[in-house]
Amino acid sequence: MFKAEKNETVSTCGIDMLTDDDLEQFEEVNRFFVDLSGWGIEGEAALTINQFLKKVKAGKYYAIIEAGQFQVHVGEYIERKTK
């Protein structure tokens, strides 16, 4: 799980795959379909990397939910509130 420290940034180590432990600690609030090939263009179903980065918000967490050959589904998460 990657925590964004600033808007529109992703760590140089990238975003990890979602784990079962993440599901217990975090709640999904949004999901993005992102092109990783570098050949995607704006207006296609998958967001380009730059379009995705504009949606990354400080304090939110991000994890890859599914990965294909050229695209990924990235979840945006918040920490679950403890009772």
Q: What is the pLDDT of residue 13?
A: 54
pLDDT band at 11 (very low <50, low <70, confident <90, very high): low
pLDDT band at residue 12 using 50, 70 and 90 as cut-offs: very low
Q: Tell me: the pLDDT tens digits for 29-76?
A: 999 999 988 888 898 999 998 999 999 999 999 999 999 999 999 999
Higher pLDDT, 32 or 7: 32
Sheet with 26-35, edge to edge strand ranges? 2-3, 61-67, 71-79, 26-35
Indicate whether this model's pTM tops 0.75: yes
